[in-house]
Structure 1
Amino acid sequence: MPIIRQIMSKFAVPDMRNLGTQVRLIVISIFYGLFLPLISDSDASYWTQVYRTASWGAPTLLLIMLTGYVFSQYATKLDKVYGVITAQLVILVLFVLVDYGLLGERLNFWTHFWQINMLSLGLMHMESSRQQALEPALVEARLTALTARIRPHFLFNSLNAAISLIRLRPYYAETLLENLANLFRAQLKDGSQSSTLGQEIEWAQEYMAIEQVRMGPTRVQVMWHHNAPDDAETPHLLLQPLLENAVFHGIESTHRPGCIVVETSMKHNWLYIMIENPFVPPDSDENVKPHKGNSMALRNLKERLMLMYDNDAVAKTEQTDSVFRVRIRLPYRKKESALDNLFGR
Structure 2
Amino acid sequence: MGIIRQPAVLFAVPDFRNLGVILRIFFSVSILVLLTPLLRSDFQRYYFENVLSSSSWIAPFVIITVTSLVLCNRWLMANRYGVFLTWGVSLLSFMFCAKIFEFPRQYWLVDMLLVSIYMWGLMHYQGLLEKSLSPALSEAKLAALTARIRPHFLFNSLNAAIALVRSRPTDAEMVLENLADLFRAQLKDANQSSTLGREIELAQGYLDIETIRMGAERLKSKWTVDAPEHAEVPHLLLQPLLENAVYHGIETSHRPGEIVVNIRMQKDWIYIRIDNPIPENPIPHKRKGNQMAMGNLAERLHLMYDADAVLKTGKQGNLFRVDIRLPYRKALPRYKPHE
State if a TM-score over 0.5 links the two structures.
yes
Q: What is the Cα deviation at residue 131 of structure 1?
A: 3.5
Measure, in 1, the Cα distance between the counterparts of 2:243 and 2:225. 19
DSSP 3-state at the match of 2:307: coil
2:273 is aligned to 274
Measure, in 2, the Cα distance between the counterparts of 1:169 and 1:94. 66
Q: What is the Cα deviation at residue 116 of structure 1?
A: 2.5
In structure 2, give the amino acid aligned to 1:13: V
In structure 2, give the amino acid aligned to 1:40: R
Contact 1:280 1:321 in 2 (8 A): no
Give the number of aligned pairs.
325
Contact 1:100 1:109 in 2 (8 A): no
Q: What is the Cα deviation at residue 134 of structure 1?
A: 3.9
Residues 130 and 291 (structure 1), Cα distance of their counterparts in 2 relative to 1, 3 Å cut = same
Q: Is 2:52 the partner of 1:51?
A: yes
Residues 159 and 136 (structure 1), Cα distance of their counterparts in 2 relative to 1, 3 Å cut = closer
In structure 1, give the amino acid aligned to 2:13: V
DSSP 3-state at the match of 1:251: helix
In structure 1, give the amino acid aligned to 2:308: D
TM-score when scaled to structure 2? 0.86
Measure, in 1, the Cα distance between the counterparts of 2:140 and 2:183. 19
1:170 is aligned to 169
Contact 1:317 1:324 in 2 (8 A): yes
1:83 is aligned to 82
Contact 1:146 1:191 in 2 (8 A): no
1:329 corresponds to which of 299, 322, 325? 325
Structure 1 unaligned residues grouped into runs of 5+: 1-8
Measure, in 1, the Cα distance between the counterparts of 2:134 and 2:251. 37
Q: What is the Cα deviation at residue 260 of structure 1?
A: 0.8
2:289 is aligned to 294
Q: What is the Cα deviation at residue 246 of structure 1?
A: 0.9
Q: What is the Cα deviation at residue 197 of structure 1?
A: 0.5
2:21 is aligned to 21
Query: Structure 1, residues 4-55: CA drift from partner, whole Å, max 9, x if none?
Result: xxxxx75433221223322221221111111110112567610110111111
Measure, in 2, the Cα distance between the counterparts of 1:261 and 1:140. 26
1:99 is aligned to 98
Measure, in 1, the Cα distance between the counterparts of 2:272 and 2:260. 11
DSSP 3-state at the match of 2:72: helix
Percent identical among aligned pairs is 49
User: What's the RMSD between the two structures over aligned residues?
Assistant: 2.6
Q: What is the Cα deviation at residue 139 of structure 1?
A: 4.3
1:64 is aligned to 65
Structure 2 unaligned residues grouped into runs of 5+: 1-8
In structure 2, give the amino acid aligned to 1:311: A
In structure 2, give the amino acid aligned to 1:62: I
Measure, in 2, the Cα distance between the counterparts of 1:251 and 1:117. 56
1:5 is aligned to none
Measure, in 2, the Cα distance between the counterparts of 1:315 and 1:150. 28
1:264 is aligned to 263
Q: What is the Cα deviation at residue 322 of structure 1?
A: 1.1
Measure, in 2, the Cα distance between the counterparts of 1:46 and 1:113. 23
Residues 258 and 131 (structure 1), Cα distance of their counterparts in 2 relative to 1, 3 Å cut = closer
Query: Structure 1, residues 281-331: CA drift from partner, whole Å, max 9, x if none?
Result: 5xx3xx3x2335532222222222223333322221111441001111222
Query: Structure 1, residues 83-119: CA drift from partner, whole Å, max 9, x if none?
Result: 2222222112212222321346456544433433333
DSSP 3-state at the match of 2:24: helix
Measure, in 2, the Cα distance between the counterparts of 1:260 and 1:253. 14
DSSP 3-state at the match of 1:45: helix
Residues 175 and 329 (structure 1), Cα distance of their counterparts in 2 relative to 1, 3 Å cut = same
Q: What is the Cα deviation at residue 146 of structure 1?
A: 3.9
Residues 67 and 159 (structure 1), Cα distance of their counterparts in 2 relative to 1, 3 Å cut = same
Contact 2:199 2:238 in 1 (8 A): yes
Measure, in 1, the Cα distance between the counterparts of 2:255 and 2:143. 32
Residues 309 and 146 (structure 1), Cα distance of their counterparts in 2 relative to 1, 3 Å cut = farther
In structure 2, give the amino acid aligned to 1:154: F
Q: What is the Cα deviation at residue 151 of structure 1?
A: 4.0
1:127 is aligned to 126
Q: Name which structure has the greater RCO, CA cutoff 8 Å, separation 6+.
A: 2
2:5 is aligned to none
In structure 2, give the amino acid aligned to 1:130: L
The correspondence of residues 108-123 of structure 1 with structure 2, limited to 5 A, is 108-123=107-122
TM-score when scaled to structure 1? 0.85
Residues 163 and 325 (structure 1), Cα distance of their counterparts in 2 relative to 1, 3 Å cut = same
Residues 107 and 125 (structure 1), Cα distance of their counterparts in 2 relative to 1, 3 Å cut = same
1:4 is aligned to none
Q: What is the Cα deviation at residue 125 of structure 1?
A: 3.2
